[in-house]
Structure 1
């Protein structure tokens, strides 16, 4: 007697597709993707604020009175927070740019080393921002 061939049901493989905007809450962002998004945000902040910063710098060099005027504006706590945000943008953009330069020469491309370098970028930029905040708000 021949035995009937039993068919084992195949387990369906998960389907991977592009992530839609409505599904972002279900997607777990990796540390590298967070650093990449923050790199873009910091670059935009630097780019958008550069004309204003250069204008204020130019005006402050015209005379001692305009310098004192801008120094008084910069002493306001809200303006100090804006300055601190721009400092973070610069620190983060610089550190992430160095990370990308290392990746361009095929260094730290593996999953674990990429995660570690992303964490290092965040740690370095936040530490430098913290030190700047201490100096900006007069702790030392």
Structure 2
């Protein structure tokens, strides 16, 4: 039989030539923030559950919830709520058939990123 010359090709060539786009990054970030909100909800539910169980158990849960870790989780969760909310509004706009041009979609992407940071800063200042 004749020798077959095999060409060495990468398994995933798209990973070498693909440049992440803002629209794909914001879409992925929407999914991540939606799932990450579970951490904040679990901490809040644990805190409420501990309040119903006993004062000693509540003292432990309250110490965690009011520590730097709890503050970080709740602050990040608040940012995730704002980001997820703005991304949802953007998707409603897309579903109506508006803003589907690349330039507009990128402006909306930057808008939800900037808007989420502005809204979390306002939330922290107000609360």
- TM-score between the two structures when normalised by the length of structure 2: 0.71
Aligned-pair RMSD on alpha carbons? 3.0
Change over 3 Å in CA distance of 1:70–1:132 after alignment to 2 = farther
Contact residue 39 and residue 73 of structure 2 kept, 8 A: no
Structure 1: gaps (5+ residues):
1-18
Instruction: Tell me the SS of whatever aligns to 1:87.
Output: helix
Number of the residue aligned with 2:47: 56
Contact residue 86 and residue 112 of structure 2 kept, 8 A: yes
Change over 3 Å in CA distance of 1:38–1:22 after alignment to 2 = same
Contact residue 92 and residue 121 of structure 1 kept, 8 A: yes
Contact residue 84 and residue 132 of structure 1 kept, 8 A: no
Number of the residue aligned with 2:36: 45
1:99-118 mapped onto 2 (5 Å cutoff): 99-118=90-109
Contact residue 22 and residue 106 of structure 2 kept, 8 A: yes
Q: CA deviation at 1:134?
A: 4.0
Structure 2: gaps (5+ residues):
1-10
2:86 pairs with 1:80:
no
Q: Greater CA radius of gyration, 1 or 2?
A: 1
Contact residue 79 and residue 120 of structure 2 kept, 8 A: yes
The size of the alignment, in residue pairs, is: 116
Question: Could you say which structure has the higher helix fraction?
Answer: 2
Instruction: Tell me the SS of whatever aligns to 2:36.
Output: helix
Number of the residue aligned with 1:89: 80
Contact residue 88 and residue 125 of structure 1 kept, 8 A: yes
